[in-house]
Each structure stands twice: as structure tokens, then as C-alpha cells.
A and B are shown apart, each in its own frame.
Chain A
Amino acid sequence: MHKFWRVSAYEYQRHVLRSRFLFVLLSVPGLILVMAVVGLLISQAHQSDRPLGYVDHSGLLASPLPAPELDSSNRRVPLLPFQTEAEAQTALQSKEIQAYYVLPQDYRQTGHADLVFIESPSSDAEQEFADFLRVNLMSGQPEPVAQRLIRGDNLTVSTPDGSRSMSQNDWFNIFTPFVTGLAFIIAIFTTSGYLLQAVVEEKENRTIEILLTSVSFFQMMGGKIIGIIGVGLTQIIVWISVAVIGVLIGRNYFELLRAVHISPGFIGLMLAVMLPSFVLIAALMAAVGATVTEAREGQQVTGLFTLPVMIPYWFSFQIMSNPNGPLAVALSYFPLTAPVAVTMRAGFTYLAPGEILLSVGILSLSALGALWLAGRALRLGLLSYGQRVNLRELVGRSK
């Protein structure tokens, strides 16, 4: 057992105590920060504050109430009335306004209107004009009713026992399973590659033969896998801590972030599915590393394992809107797709404990199977140098 830990400690230190690891570690949060800042700057610069014109033939806007003040950070676009379409057209041509609406005489009956533009106006501007109309349509209504209809409802969804609830204002939380799933995938991508290389490299330079005179196959493979998983977990823990700190600081500035909350149950579930799947993928990578002859070949084959992990993202729309549908359920029982599928479903529906247990059970069993396969691949791959171990040899009976 001592040797087992020694291999894993070596493997862990080899990657973590490198300046390059620090670079990978910091580059992800750094990149996200840069993206956020650039996005914010660009969206600020992009908003046009040229006024929006309107020509009203219906009489609704003869003495208009102003558009409602909504608590949003979007810049207001001034609304300019014109008497005739010709005037509005001149203003549009001379780029005084970004577009103009024409409300026909029968607007109140039909709701139809024309929007004339050269370049499509921003959706914020269109939204603002719609709000402006809304206020004026309700000008005869009592104040509380008009206020309610302008401000809209706040829907909260809850399970009957109240154990889970989410308000429409907390929609931001919908992204939690996505973000954690993504962090998991990035960690898998970066760390499993290490494992593959670790095995292939030592095989290529024949160190592994010498090593195996003093440690067993299991100690060697198991130690490496545990060490690499430690590297991956270090990454995830650092990223999540950075995210938590970011959210805590951001709360003071952005209302959106105040609604973010993650339940301990969700964290527990994440750990329960992600740990075995980490072992599973790492072991599969190690098995590939042991069977191929060159690192390059191995890299191409690993795509076959990492691609399925992302499948739930391709179907995220189906999983989100129908989290108990056959596709979502199937994906949460297939070992490679389970980690992302289960976390995604957990965000959008109530998962029975039995379902979670079954999924984690399948994952753990497959992880054990993959470990066995990896050990076997290493032994066979070692004996048949310079040639690939094929699948039949790998799973067949040893001679």
C-alpha cells in the first residue's frame, strides 16, 4: 500500500508543482473574466441611443404617458413623435432616428403597426416602445392594476413538500448545472491527457519495465490514476473557490448574482457522480495509453471517450424541457454521459433517491471494470512491445 501512495504522490507532484499547471489553473478563470469584461464593454459600446420615432394616426398617443421606468440597466432610448410619415422619413434618412413606427387609425382594434428602418433597431428599443404603448393602453385603469400589469408577475415553482423552490427572478440558477458540468469536462480533458501521456511516455522510454520490478501492476496503475484524479480535483476545487469568491464579491454590484444559491444536496450529488466517472474516464485513458505504441495515436483515440461526455450538452434543450423523458433518463444511466446528464436533470426536476443510486451504482461498477481493464492492458501492452494490443486480446482469456 505504501508503494501505491508513493506512485500517486509522485504523479500528483509532477504535475501540480509545475509553473505550467499554475498557468492552466489561472487561465480558465482569467479567460472568463476577460470574456465578461470584453462582453460588457462591447454591449455598452454597441447600444445605440439614437431616438426612435413614431407617427400616431390612432390618437392613442395624443397626450402620452411616458414609458415606464423599469429597474434595468439598459440605456433608455428617447421616443420622438412625428406628425407625418414624410417628416419621420426625412429624419430616418438623415440618421436622426434609428427607426420609426406608424400606428394606423385602427390600431386599437387590430394591434397592427408598421416599423420602418434601414438597419434593424435593437431589441431593447423595440421593447421600450412596446412598454410605452402598454402604459398608454392602460391609461384608464386604476393605478395598482396598471402597475401590476406593467411590472409582470413573479412566479415561484416549488415541490409539494417545499424542499425545492425556484423563483422566476432566480433564473440565473438554471446555469449552475451547466457551469459545473463544464468545469468537470475541462478538468477531464486536461487531466486525462496527463494520464495517457504518463503511461505512454514511460512505456516509450522503457522506464516502466524497471518500475515494474519493484511495484505491482495494480499499485502502478491505481497509484497513477489516483494521483491524476487528485490533480483534476485540485483544478475543480480551485475553480469553484474562485467562482464562489467571484459571486460573493459580485453580489455587491450585480443584483443578478444575489439570487445565486447552491444547495449542499446538489454539491453532494455532484461529488457522487463525478468521482466515479473521473475514475472511469481516467482508467479508460490509461488503458488506451497502455495499448497504443505512440502518444500521438493515443491522443486521437481519446476523442472517442471525451466526446460522449459532452453528448448531454448537444441535447441540453431536450433534457432541460423534458428532464424525465426517455432520452434524459437513458443518458443518465449510460456511464460516460451520466455525470453531465444527472447534474443537468437534477437542476430541472426532482430526482428520486433510487434513480440517483442506480446511476451512481452503474458508474461505480463501470469504473471498477475500467480499472481492471487498464491493469490488464498495461500487462499485455508491456509484453507485446511495438505492436498494438487489440480488443480481442484485451477482453479475452489470458493464455
Chain B
Amino acid sequence: MNKTLSVLKNEIIVTVARRSFLLIALGVPLVSILGFVLLSALNRRAPNSVAEFFSSVSAPGQKAEGFVDQSGLIKTIPDSIPEAAFKAFPSRAAALQALRVGEITGYYLIPDNYLETGDILNVRPDFNPLSAFDQSSRIQWILKVNLLGGDVHLASLVNRPLVVNKISQAPSPQRDQQNPLTFFLPYAVTLAFYIIILMSASYLLNSVTKEKENRVLEILMLSISPRQMLVGKIIALGLVGLLQTVLWIGTGYSLLRLSGRTFSLPQAFQLPLSFLVWGLVFFLLGYAIYASLMASLGALVPDLREASQATFIVILPLIIPLMMIGVMIEAPNGTLALALSLFPLTASVVMMTRLAATSVPLWQLLLSAGLQALTVLLLVRTVAGMFRAQVLLSGQPFNLRRLVNALLGSS
């Protein structure tokens, strides 16, 4: 136990004191704080200048748009459209001329076969399809009203036939499928979890490979057992990962508070305190699983170059849930989500997706955590067994078969 503690202490000190760790753990929050201070200073001096810089809307043009109606359909302009917003032109040439002299920002051409084809041509010098598709709703509205003989009420009903009042009979508050948060909240949680677990686990790979390369490992093995070393390293680097996460999230949270924005998520989106607790549990378990796997990589690969390529094989099970995240957010209690949240290698990340998306039955949480804990125990045992001279010194190139054999103890 004593030796595990000294491994733990040494590992924390060495990792935390490394300049690159400080750069990333402190640099990222520092840069964001600096950016925040700079932006708020700028904003104080010239209000709205920052918002304008990041604005997604091009400067609202006071100028009108033109239209050339060859179909003869447009007889009235509905009252909801300001009179100055649209100018009619008799021909394309006239509209083009007005565009050249800057009288209008662009024009629409409604061809004579509009009724059959539905074609509308929008000519604009900045060629911006996205805002063109957005802004064209006004000319489309004018056309709709005129097609329906000027009946604005019918046109608005046809435009939007339903103003729906949704009545959910589900026992728990349901999330609105249209709300972007329904997707982005679980997505952000999953991605953050994925990054944190992988980042912390890769510290272990680095640490093992380094000590293997410079042969310190062999000397260490003389006085401590592989399991003591592995447990010490896993706990130490897990703590370092946690520290880094707390630093980042803490900065993010305080910046949000400073900027005056409080979290006012709709009730269906608020994550309960238990989410934090389960988050910690699943982080620790997921981290321990991937850290042991990374350590096994470290023991098997001949050098760091091979290691970074072999990592891909190990993290593949974590990438799969990311690929299917859309499905799992849509059906967080479906078969796929349930299966992946119980399978130990994907469980930690998928369970967090589900927790952020819906309420998960307690027995599933407990079963998943139990299965992961069991996996951790097994993995630590097996991986510790891999720290033997013949494995460490073989210098053979790494491949999947060797990893599986080593994990099964048959190498």
C-alpha cells in the first residue's frame, strides 16, 4: 500500500509539474479569461462592436429589393410587407440597371411559366445562397397571397396550417423535439465526457511508454509489484485528469456567471444533482477502463510512435457511440442505447448521453456501473500481468492480435 502511495505521489508531481501540462491545464482557461476581459473591455468602449463582429446577419440593408414579374401574377402587395421594401421593374434590364446604380440590393425574376414550374430566380451580387433562401420568404409570401386571390388569412393558414398546442401524457416532462437543446445538450455532455476520458487515459499511455523506453520500468519492477504500480498510476493520473476538468469547467462556469448570464434552461432540460454524482461515477469507471487499456498498449508497443497509432484500435469502442449519437438522443431508452450503455467499453459515455437525454431507470445505472467495475478489476489484474520482462522487452511491432492474446494471457 505504501508503495502504491509513493507511485501515486510521484506520478502526480511529475505530470503536474510538466510544462506542457501547465500550458494546457492553465493556458486554456487563461486564454479564455484574457479573451473575455478583452472582449468586455472592447464592448465597454464601443457597445455592440463585439456582437457585430460575431454577428451572423449581414448589415440590415435599408435598400429595397426589386422584382420583375413576367407571370403577371402579382397584383397586390400584402400589408405585412413595408411598401418601400419591394420595387417592381418592367424588365430584367431595368432591374439590372437599378442594381448597378445601387438602388436595390438584388432582384427576383418570376418567369411567365411560374405556375407550372415554381421557378424563381434571385439575382444578387454577393451570391449568398443561405441568406437568399432565408430572405426569399418575403417574395414567396407575396406570390402565395396573390395565387390565393389576395386572401391573406387563407394564405397564412396554408403557410402554417397548424399552431399546435402539445399535450403530453407521458409521466415525466417531455422535451420538445423542435428545441435544438434536445439534441445539443446530450451531445455536448457526451463529447465533453469523451474528451475528458481519453485525455486522462492517454496520460497513462505516455507515462508507461516513457518509463519503458528509458528502461526505468525494469528497475522499478525490482522493488514493487506491477499491480501496485498500475493502481498507483491509474489513480494518480485520474486525479490529474479530474483536476484539469475542474479547472476548465470552473473557468467556463465562472465566465458564464461573470458575463451576467445565468443558466435558465427550460425545466425539461435541467440536469438534477444526481447527474453530477453519476457523472463522477461513470467518469471514474470509464477512465479506469481506458487507462488500463492504454497501459496495456504502453507495455506492448516498442515506442511512442507506434503507440499513438495503436491508440486508435483501443478507442474504437468509444468512437462507435459518437457515430450513432443521433439515434441514441432520439430514442435514449431504445434497444441500441440500452445495449451500448450496458456494454462496459461503451457504457460510460453512452450512459451519460442517456442521462442527459432522459431519465434512466436506477437498476440500469447500477447494473452498468457494476459491470464496469467488474471490468476494471479484471483489466487491472490482466494488465498488471503484462508487465513482465518478456512482454516489455520483446520489441515486437504492435498489432491487434498481440493485444488480444496478451489480454487473454496466452501470449
Interface residues of A (CB under 8 A from B): 20, 35, 38-39, 42, 46, 92, 101, 108, 110-120, 123, 126, 129-130, 133-134, 137-138, 141, 144-145, 148-149, 151-160, 164, 166, 168, 171, 174, 193, 197, 201, 294-297, 299-301, 303, 315, 317-318, 320-327, 330, 348-350
Q: Evaluate contact between B53 and A152: CB separation under 8 angstroms.
A: no
Query: Which residues of B are found within 8 Å of A171, using beta-carbon distances?
Result: 129, 133
Q: Evaluate contact between A325 and B58: CB separation under 8 angstroms.
A: yes
A168-B135 Cα distance, complex, nearest whole Å: 13
Query: Which residues of B are found within 8 Å of A145, using beta-carbon distances?
Result: 115, 147-148
Given the interface pairs A38-B324, A153-B118, the reply to whether A123 lies near B123 with Cβ below 8 Å is: no
Query: Quick one: which of B129-166 are within 8 Å of A by CB?
Result: 129-134, 136, 140, 143-144, 147-148, 154, 156-158, 160-166
Query: Which residues of B are found within 8 Å of A326, using beta-carbon distances?
Result: 52-53
Q: Evaluate contact between B58 and A322: CB separation under 8 angstroms.
A: yes
A-B residue pairs in contact (CB < 8 Å), sample of 24? A35-B323, A38-B323, A101-B162, A101-B164, A111-B160, A112-B165, A115-B164, A119-B170, A123-B177, A123-B178, A130-B162, A137-B154, A137-B161, A138-B148, A153-B140, A157-B132, A159-B124, A164-B127, A296-B304, A299-B308, A315-B54, A323-B128, A324-B58, A325-B53
Q: Evaluate contact between A300 and B305: CB separation under 8 angstroms.
A: no
A182-B327 Cα distance, complex, nearest whole Å: 23
A324-B130 Cα distance, complex, nearest whole Å: 13
A327-B57 Cα distance, complex, nearest whole Å: 11
Query: Which residues of B are found within 8 Å of A295, using beta-carbon distances?
Result: 304-305
Q: Evaluate contact between B133 and A350: CB separation under 8 angstroms.
A: no
A192-B99 Cα distance, complex, nearest whole Å: 48
Query: Which residues of A are found within 8 Å of B121, using beta-carbon distances?
Result: 155-156, 158
Q: Evaluate contact between A153 and B143: CB separation under 8 angstroms.
A: yes
Q: From the candidates B20, B115, B127, B130, name the one contacting A320 in the complex (CB within 8 A).
A: B130
A166-B127 Cα distance, complex, nearest whole Å: 9
Query: Quick one: which of B375-391 are within 8 Å of A by CB?
Result: none
Given the interface pairs A115-B166, A297-B20, the reply to whether A321 lies near B131 with Cβ below 8 Å is: yes
Q: How far is the CB of A311 from chain B (nearest CB, A)?
A: 12
Q: Evaluate contact between B129 and A134: CB separation under 8 angstroms.
A: no
Q: Evaluate contact between B167 and A114: CB separation under 8 angstroms.
A: yes
A301-B323 Cα distance, complex, nearest whole Å: 28
A134-B144 Cα distance, complex, nearest whole Å: 13
A139-B304 Cα distance, complex, nearest whole Å: 72
Q: Using A42-B336, A117-B168, A325-B53 as known contacts, list a sample of 14 further A-B pairs with CB atoms less than 8 Å apart, ordered by residue number in A.
A: A92-B169, A112-B165, A114-B165, A115-B167, A120-B166, A123-B178, A141-B148, A149-B144, A155-B122, A156-B120, A301-B20, A318-B56, A326-B53, A348-B130
A149-B55 Cα distance, complex, nearest whole Å: 34
Given the interface pairs A111-B161, A296-B206, the reply to whether A20 lies near B309 with Cβ below 8 Å is: yes
Q: Evaluate contact between A348 and B129: CB separation under 8 angstroms.
A: yes
Query: Which residues of A are found within 8 Å of B83, using beta-carbon distances?
Result: none
Q: Evaluate contact between B164 and A113: CB separation under 8 angstroms.
A: yes
Query: Quick one: which of B98-125 are within 8 Å of A by CB?
Result: 99, 114-125
Q: Which single residue of chain A is at the shortest CB-CB distance from B330?
A: A46
A152-B56 Cα distance, complex, nearest whole Å: 27
Q: How far is the CB of B400 from chain A (nearest CB, A)?
A: 11
Q: Which single residue of chain B is at the shortest CB-CB distance from A299?
A: B308
Query: Which residues of A are found within 8 Å of B331, using beta-carbon distances?
Result: 46
A155-B206 Cα distance, complex, nearest whole Å: 55
Given the interface pairs A133-B161, A133-B162, A137-B158, the reply to whether A160 lies near B54 with Cβ below 8 Å is: no
B174 beta carbon closer than 8 Å to chain A: yes
Query: Which residues of B are found within 8 Å of A322, using beta-carbon distances?
Result: 55-58, 131
Query: Quick one: which of B227-259 are within 8 Å of A by CB?
Result: none
Q: From the candidates B144, B165, B177, name the one contacting A113 in the complex (CB within 8 A).
A: B165
B210 beta carbon closer than 8 Å to chain A: yes
Q: How far is the CB of A46 from chain B (nearest CB, A)?
A: 7
Given the interface pairs A158-B122, A320-B130, the reply to whether A129 lies near B147 with Cβ below 8 Å is: no
Query: Which residues of A are found within 8 Å of B55, using beta-carbon distances?
Result: 318, 322, 325, 327
Query: Which residues of B are found within 8 Å of A166, using beta-carbon distances?
Result: 127, 129
B314 beta carbon closer than 8 Å to chain A: no
Q: Evaluate contact between A157 and B122: CB separation under 8 angstroms.
A: yes
Contact with A along B51-73 (1 / 0, CB 8 A): 01111111000000000000000
B94 beta carbon closer than 8 Å to chain A: no
Q: Evaluate contact between B127 and A159: CB separation under 8 angstroms.
A: yes
Query: Quick one: which of B244-303 are within 8 Å of A by CB?
Result: none
Q: From the candidates A115, A144, A158, A297, name the one contacting B127 in the complex (CB within 8 A).
A: A158
Query: Which residues of A are found within 8 Å of B148, using beta-carbon distances?
Result: 138, 141, 145, 149
Q: How far is the CB of B226 from chain A (nearest CB, A)?
A: 22
Q: How far is the CB of B170 from chain A (nearest CB, A)?
A: 5
A58-B26 Cα distance, complex, nearest whole Å: 64
A102-B185 Cα distance, complex, nearest whole Å: 31
Q: Which single residue of chain B is at the shortest CB-CB distance from A109?
A: B153
- Among B18, B20, B53, B209, find the residue whose CB has the most chain A CB atoms closer than 10 A: B20
B393 beta carbon closer than 8 Å to chain A: no
Query: Which residues of A are found within 8 Å of B157, using beta-carbon distances?
Result: 108, 111, 137
Contact with A along B323-358 (1 / 0, CB 8 A): 110110011000010000000000000000000000
Q: How far is the CB of B33 from chain A (nearest CB, A)?
A: 17
B126 beta carbon closer than 8 Å to chain A: yes
B24 beta carbon closer than 8 Å to chain A: yes
Query: Quick one: which of B205-233 are within 8 Å of A by CB?
Result: 206, 209-210
Query: Which residues of A are found within 8 Å of B167, using beta-carbon distances?
Result: 114-117
Q: Evaluate contact between B118 and A148: CB separation under 8 angstroms.
A: yes
A145-B150 Cα distance, complex, nearest whole Å: 13
Q: Evaluate contact between B125 and A138: CB separation under 8 angstroms.
A: no
Query: Which residues of A are found within 8 Å of B309, using beta-carbon distances?
Result: 20
Given the interface pairs A201-B305, A348-B130, the reply to whether A159 lies near B125 with Cβ below 8 Å is: yes
B189 beta carbon closer than 8 Å to chain A: no
Given the interface pairs A160-B96, A321-B57, A326-B53, the reply to whether A303 lies near B127 with Cβ below 8 Å is: no
Q: Evaluate contact between A114 and B122: CB separation under 8 angstroms.
A: no
A317-B54 Cα distance, complex, nearest whole Å: 10
Q: Evaluate contact between B161 and A134: CB separation under 8 angstroms.
A: yes
The 8 A-B residue pairs with the shortest CB-CB distance, nearest first, are: A133-B161, A300-B20, A157-B132, A321-B56, A318-B56, A350-B127, A153-B118, A116-B167
Q: Evaluate contact between A118 and B127: CB separation under 8 angstroms.
A: no
Q: From the candidates B170, B209, B210, name the one contacting A118 in the complex (CB within 8 A).
A: B170
Q: How far is the CB of A355 from chain B (nearest CB, A)?
A: 13
Query: Which residues of B are found within 8 Å of A42, using beta-carbon distances?
Result: 324, 327, 336
Q: From the candidates B127, B210, B305, name the one contacting A157 in the complex (CB within 8 A).
A: B127
Q: Which single residue of chain A is at the shortest CB-CB distance from B52?
A: A326
Q: Evaluate contact between B163 and A154: CB separation under 8 angstroms.
A: no
Query: Which residues of B are found within 8 Å of A119, using beta-carbon distances?
Result: 170, 174
Q: Which single residue of chain B is at the shortest CB-CB distance from A323?
A: B128
Q: From the candidates B24, B117, B143, name the one contacting A303 in the complex (CB within 8 A).
A: B24
Q: How far is the CB of A391 from chain B (nearest CB, A)?
A: 13
Q: Evaluate contact between A110 and B163: CB separation under 8 angstroms.
A: yes
Query: Which residues of B are found within 8 Å of A321, using beta-carbon distances?
Result: 56-58, 128, 130-131, 134
